[in-house]
Amino acid sequence: MFKREPGGQDLNRKSRFSITRSPDHLISRSAQLGLVLILLLTLLSCSGRSDPHTLVMDIESSPVNLDPRVGTDSQSERISELLFDSLVRKDEHFKLLPWVAESWETPDPTTYIFHLRKGVTFHDGRPLTSRDVKWTLDSFTNGSVISIRAATYAHVRKVEAPDDYTLIIHLDGPDATLLWNLSDGAFGIVPYGSGKELAAKPIGSGPFRFVRLDPDSQVVLERNASYWAKPPNVDRVQLRVVPDATTRALELRKGSADLIATNSLGADMVNTLRREPRLRVQREPGTGLVYLAFNLRDPILKDVRVRQALAYAIDRQPILDSLFGGLGRLADSILPTEH
């Protein structure tokens, strides 16, 4: 299946795509980065391998750190979204929706009050409460973990948990990005008291449980049958580390893999694979932006008229077609049209 995306107009915005073996069933959910892994939640593997209940996905590299507070590489973030829940969630139009937080209000620009969902449990059976969310946020400022994500929550002055299902965040000033930084892909709730050991044995409340990590080889996850939302349809997920793009394509072609991560292959290879009758290429609008940046200190380029002239002189469409083989679209802003 190949879905064309709507056209756009700035240098180029890449689309997102995934390749799977037919007749697997994919359900699109959003245009956010890394979401191809979220598709695993509703994917039924039908390949002819010995274990039809295990979905095999080839990824480019081993995750750096499975602690959602620390791992910022794409593989760590994708896997963390399967293991951990966030307070809020984004839909396909980037609208923020309730998740672990059923509702929230802002009585003033520097105060957020979240009301948490009851019945959410971690993989070890402990209930998820406001104390866990508070610990997760406090970890960025109390030295429990060292993470570049700490700067994201620099405006958080104090976090309170007055009862098990109420969380209050006090800011030192208005922060329009706070809810985004508490959403999927950016924030994962960890159990109270979690320290550096979480990287080796992550415990979350997400749709999959951690089984094992073999560095530079594979990550194995299993279905969380007691997940509070709709449980996934596959029993296990095996994420195999296959650095070479050609090898990943061949593994998919011969049936030893079901899915290749988003945008992990070049345009030529994707267009070759799409001709395979047993494979399905699914495209969705992406958020990756490729652009030209000018040195504004340059005595010539600092003149806006020169920059405008260069912009008018560049025919972007042939560049887009040549470099991305029909897998991109012209952009007229840094934001995708779906935003």
Rounded Cα–Cα distance for residues 33 and 200 (Å): 25
Question: 155 and 175 in contact (C-beta within 8 Å)?
Answer: yes
Pairing state between β 111-116 and 166-171: antiparallel
Hey, what domains does the chain have and what are their CATH numbers?
A: 16-84+200-282 (3.40.190.10), 88-195 (3.90.76.10)
Give tens-digit pLDDT for 101-128: 999 999 999 999 999 999 999 999 999 9
Q: What pLDDT, on a 0 to 100 scale, did the predictor assign at position 281?
A: 85
**Band of the pLDDT at 304, cuts 50, 70, 90?**
very high
**Band of the pLDDT at 100, cuts 50, 70, 90?**
very high
The larger pLDDT score, comparing residue 231 to residue 286, is at 231
Q: What pLDDT, on a 0 to 100 scale, did the predictor assign at position 244?
A: 92
Question: 281 and 270 in contact (C-beta within 8 Å)?
Answer: yes
CA dihedral 67, 68, 72, 78 (to 10 degrees): 110
Average pLDDT of the chain, as a whole number: 84
Residues in the chain: 339
Give the helix/strand (H/E) hosting 81: helix 74-83
The larger pLDDT score, comparing residue 216 to residue 282, is at 216
**Band of the pLDDT at 225, cuts 50, 70, 90?**
very high
Rounded Cα–Cα distance for residues 35 and 64 (Å): 18
Q: What pLDDT, on a 0 to 100 scale, did the predictor assign at position 325?
A: 81
Rounded Cα–Cα distance for residues 249 and 295 (Å): 39
Q: What pLDDT, on a 0 to 100 scale, did the predictor assign at position 5?
A: 33
**Band of the pLDDT at 9, cuts 50, 70, 90?**
very low
**Which residues in 312-327 are b (16+ Cβ under 10 Å) and which e?**
eeeeeeeebeeebeeb
Is pLDDT at 47 greater than 90 in this prediction? no
Question: 318 and 62 in contact (C-beta within 8 Å)?
Answer: no
Q: Which of 12-21, 158-167, 250-259, 281-290 has the lowest mean pLDDT?
A: 12-21
Is pLDDT at 2 greater than 90 in this prediction? no
Cβ neighbors of 68 (< 8 A, separation 6 or more) are 76, 77, 80, 83, 84, 187, 188, 190, 202, 204
Rounded Cα–Cα distance for residues 297 and 294 (Å): 9
Give the three-state DSSP class for 273.
helix
Neighbouring C-alpha atoms within 13 Å toward the C-beta of 70: 19
DSSP at 199? G
What does the angle CA 225 – CA 228 – CA 229 come to, to the nearest 5 degrees? 95
**Band of the pLDDT at 12, cuts 50, 70, 90?**
very low
pTM (predicted TM-score): 0.78
**Which residues in 82-107 are b (16+ Cβ under 10 Å) and which e?**
bbbbbbbbbeeebebeebbbeebeee
